[in-house]
Chains A and B, each alone.
Chain A
Amino acid sequence: MADTMGHSATATRNTSVALGFFVLAIAPQIFELIWSIGTIFGWAAGRGPLQIVAAHAAALVVGGPAALVGGDTKKASSDVLLALIYSYPLFVVAVLTIFMTIRSAQDYVGGIVLMALALFALWASSDLQGMRGFSFGAGTAPRMFGGLLVALGAAIALTGLLTDGPAMPHYSWRGPLLVMASIVFFALAIRPLGVVVTAFASFLIAAMGTHETRWIETIIVGACLTAGCALLFPYVLGLPMPMFPRFLVQ
């Protein structure tokens, strides 16, 4: 009874891990798609969302297999290469994952994600020149280290299959999300809004990262810190930095 329960538990978790890898395998494509939404509003240049969906779908479904069968990867477009170098190996891994017994999810997932990063780097450096005679081209070293990291990632994943170890770590979302939000807000606001507003607002956003925040003391400390930063960085250290929002100064 306990056995079957344990088995079904790992089976369901395996499918979710495999599903995660599947998403990871098309993560660059999804990222490009999200990025391209900006083109609709004219924020960014490049291909529109519909073009991207069409191009990647064609590359994944038709272009990749065609290039594989034809053995003609030299002339393949960058989308097809992404499918070939990055997505297909990860699809394979995702499918294999379903049938594996994972003994240490921490190692297994860690290894596979590293492998994915390395594959992505291999794709990113695929347009660079390789060896020219005995001298290195721009792409030689990235490919060398990329290949090495693929092997190492696979080896780490293998240890996750063969030896017992910690299970999947628990991630919390509140801290990472709000600290990240605070950082992104800071980056976007520092130029238009200046140090005073930005630092204070970022402080408050970051403070939300824990539920233990008491608002009155946080606001007081934030105000003091903002005042300190506004004096320290631009005046004492002489670093060029806008102080107040642009629309107020003008």
Chain B
Amino acid sequence: MFDLFHNLGLGFGVVFQVSWWSPWWLYGLSLPVSINILMCLIGALVGTLVGVLPGIGTVATVAMLLPITFGLPPVGALIMLAGIYYGAQYGGSTTSILVNIPGEATSVVTAIDGHAMAKQGRAGPALAIAAIGSFFAGCVATVLIAVLGAPLTKLALAFGPAEYFSLMVLGLIFAVVLAKGSVLKAIAMIVFGLLLSMVGSDIETGASRMAFNIPELADGLGFATVAMGVFGFAEIIRNLDAGAEMNRDLVQQKITGLMPTRKDLIDSAPAILRGTILGSILGILPGGGAVIASFASYTLEKKIAKNPSRFGRGAIEGVAAPESANNAAAQTSFIPLLTLGIPPNAVMALMVGAMTIHGIVPGPQVMQKQPELVWGMIASMWIGNLMLIIINLPLVGIWVRLLRVPYRLMFPSIVIFCAIGIYSVNNAPVDVILAGVFGLVGYWLIKHDFEPAPLLLGMVLGPLMEENLRRALLISRGDWSVFLTRPLSAGLLAIAAFLLVLTLLPMLRAKRDEVFTESEN
């Protein structure tokens, strides 16, 4: 317990670290500036902006902003990227409620009841509850990361290559179970991702694999490049299909009375609590994340409600639960990354990229060797959440006005930003073309109903999986049974197999489909 406070204290110390800034125009006077607080604020604001704007997702933004963080100290860079991630969860809810356009996939379900509330003139309370729920969930998740961090790190140190491999298999299976649509297609996407990760030179032998003597491929496909293509460009191309003019029924009347009534608070408190718990659990699980958390918690609320027919007509629980769940999940998904070094979703995979750029290898060692980095980031999340709740509500008007920017002007801007972003990662024009090609690939995948998220997860885990598989087999002298004879590894694989069987059972499959179709009707 003492450790916990000590660690959090260290973290807050890092965040509030003050440096003196003396610009020439102050003639020798110095101003105290906390760079990390500033980074946190920028990250949260950019995240909210991204969350508000439909057509550009969190993954593409984080990929786009990676080069911006090159010049920053590692702590500041990670704080900013984390801010973008949870900031987007806030921003997405704002537009869902006000204009019925979910800016992010995570707030799709919020739109159902949130927009219904807005139509009844209760947009204020809906926004307030979403913010309060998110803040509460953010606080709980921050504490959870702090509490679970140290013990999980100890556990991770007991992991050998066999356990690591099994854990990643489990993560990928989770990604399959939680992916939308066909299980077979999700598995195929993962394997496709694994295959893409093999391009480039082999870690052990140094042999060039599937690189066709193209020098730019010798180092492998950049993860940011593929992510930008599949999530950024592909999304734009697909949106253009439907025509640039999207139908936007803005809520025109003025938002009056932000404060929720006493009844609203009493109604939503248990929903927030349930959403937070469910979101935290789903966030920790590899392959999970914020999207599935919001869907699942909405379904749960509807199931346990006394009068389910209220849902879809402005039930405040339908806003409170998914909003708390997605924020909780967004934050707890840092746990596997910080403790085990395994990214549970695409955004976390980009965080791995950001860490490696700064010379940090994610994994259990980070927490011991660079505690100020990890705890600084954790502390910044709490501060970021506080900032968001303060900033966001007054800024609602500005966000809504931003939505009036027509897509025909927005999409070329996004294309240019993405292109400059990718170019500046390696100063390589080929990367830009590769991202474009993956944009077309992503468009094709969307058209044939393949989910791109498992592909990215497979691509990130590919090298780690291969390395651990090879190492495990080398240690066991080629004996494949090592994965089953080591108890931890066997346990993890058993869970994975169990999950896969569960998903394939027809009865549960129907349930799973129901969760995903919830948003569509």
Say whether A184 contacts B241, CB under 8 Å.
Answer: no
**A207 to B244, alpha carbons, bound, how many Å?**
10
Say whether A135 contacts B440, CB under 8 Å.
Answer: no
Partner of A134, one of B70, B191, B473: B473
What is the 8 Å Cβ interface bit string for chain A, positions 141-183, against chain B (1 contact, 0 not)?
1100110110011011001000000100101101110011011
Let me know if B504 is at the binding interface, CB within 8 A: no
Partner of A206, one of B411, B429, B449, B478: B411
Chain B residues numbered 67-85 whose CB sits less than 8 Å from any CB in chain A: 67-68, 70-71
**A179 to B233, alpha carbons, bound, how many Å?**
8
Chain B residues numbered 427-447 whose CB sits less than 8 Å from any CB in chain A: 427, 429-430, 432-433, 435-436, 439-440, 443-444, 447
Which chain B residues lie closer than 8 Å to A174 at the CB level? 240
Say whether A186 contacts B416, CB under 8 Å.
Answer: yes
**A217 to B212, alpha carbons, bound, how many Å?**
44
Let me know if B510 is at the binding interface, CB within 8 A: no
* Contact flag A183-B466 (CB < 8 Å), given A203-B416, A241-B424: no
Give the residue name and chain of the B residue nearest to A226 (CB).
Answer: B416
**Could you pull out 13 A-B pairs where Cβ atoms are within 8 angstroms?**
A129-B205, A136-B204, A138-B207, A138-B209, A146-B195, A172-B241, A179-B240, A186-B416, A186-B419, A187-B430, A221-B409, A229-B420, A237-B68
**A234 to B322, alpha carbons, bound, how many Å?**
41
Say whether A148 contacts B191, CB under 8 Å.
Answer: yes
The secondary-structure label for the interface of chain B is helix
Say whether B432 contacts A187, CB under 8 Å.
Answer: yes
Which chain A residues lie closer than 8 Å to B205 at the CB level? 129, 137-138
Interface centre among A137, A179, A191, A213 (most CB of B within 10 A): A179
Let me know if B159 is at the binding interface, CB within 8 A: no
Let me know if B448 is at the binding interface, CB within 8 A: yes
**A176 to B477, alpha carbons, bound, how many Å?**
50
Let me know if A15 is at the binding interface, CB within 8 A: no
What is the 8 Å Cβ interface bit string for chain B, positions 461-489, against chain A (1 contact, 0 not)?
00000100110011001110000000000
| Nearest CB in chain B: distance from A242 CB, A | 10
| Nearest CB in chain A: distance from B175 CB, A | 15
Partner of A153, one of B188, B243, B245, B444: B188
**A241 to B245, alpha carbons, bound, how many Å?**
34
**A207 to B416, alpha carbons, bound, how many Å?**
11
**A122 to B294, alpha carbons, bound, how many Å?**
40
Which chain A residues lie closer than 8 Å to B416 at the CB level? 186, 199, 202-203, 206, 225, 229
Partner of B477, one of A109, A134, A190, A210: A134
**A159 to B436, alpha carbons, bound, how many Å?**
30
Partner of A172, one of B240, B466, B469: B240
Let me know if B492 is at the binding interface, CB within 8 A: no
Say whether B419 contacts A202, CB under 8 Å.
Answer: yes
Let me know if B129 is at the binding interface, CB within 8 A: no
Say whether B185 contacts A156, CB under 8 Å.
Answer: yes
Top 4 A-B residue pairs of the complex, sorted by shortest distance between their CB atoms: A134-B478, A175-B240, A110-B448, A183-B436
Chain A residues numbered 76-118 whose CB sits less than 8 Å from any CB in chain B: 106-107, 109-111, 113-114, 117-118
Give the residue name and chain of the A residue nearest to B205 (CB).
Answer: A138
Number of interface residues of B (CB under 8 A): 64
Interface size class of A (residues with CB under 8 A): 35 or more
Let me know if B1 is at the binding interface, CB within 8 A: no
Let me know if A60 is at the binding interface, CB within 8 A: no
The secondary-structure label for the interface of chain A is helix
Which chain B residues lie closer than 8 Å to A137 at the CB level? 205
Let me know if A1 is at the binding interface, CB within 8 A: no
Give the residue name and chain of the B residue nearest to A183 (CB).
Answer: B436
| Nearest CB in chain A: distance from B423 CB, A | 6
Let me know if A128 is at the binding interface, CB within 8 A: yes
What is the 8 Å Cβ interface bit string for chain B, positions 207-245, against chain A (1 contact, 0 not)?
101101000000000000000000001001100110111
| Nearest CB in chain B: distance from A246 CB, A | 14
Say whether A206 contacts B430, CB under 8 Å.
Answer: no
Query: 17 other contacts beyond A171-B447, A225-B416, A240-B427, with CB at 8 A cut-off?
Result: A106-B447, A107-B448, A107-B449, A118-B192, A125-B209, A133-B478, A134-B478, A135-B478, A137-B205, A138-B205, A179-B411, A183-B419, A188-B429, A203-B413, A206-B416, A210-B244, A229-B420
Partner of A176, one of B209, B237, B424: B237
**A107 to B447, alpha carbons, bound, how many Å?**
10
Chain A residues numbered 200-240 whose CB sits less than 8 Å from any CB in chain B: 202-204, 206-207, 209-210, 212-214, 217-218, 221-222, 225, 229, 233, 237-240
**A124 to B469, alpha carbons, bound, how many Å?**
22
Say whether A169 contacts B424, CB under 8 Å.
Answer: no
Which chain B residues lie closer than 8 Å to A125 at the CB level? 198, 209-210
| Nearest CB in chain A: distance from B504 CB, A | 13
Partner of B424, one of A146, A172, A239: A239
Let me know if B187 is at the binding interface, CB within 8 A: yes
**A106 to B181, alpha carbons, bound, how many Å?**
14
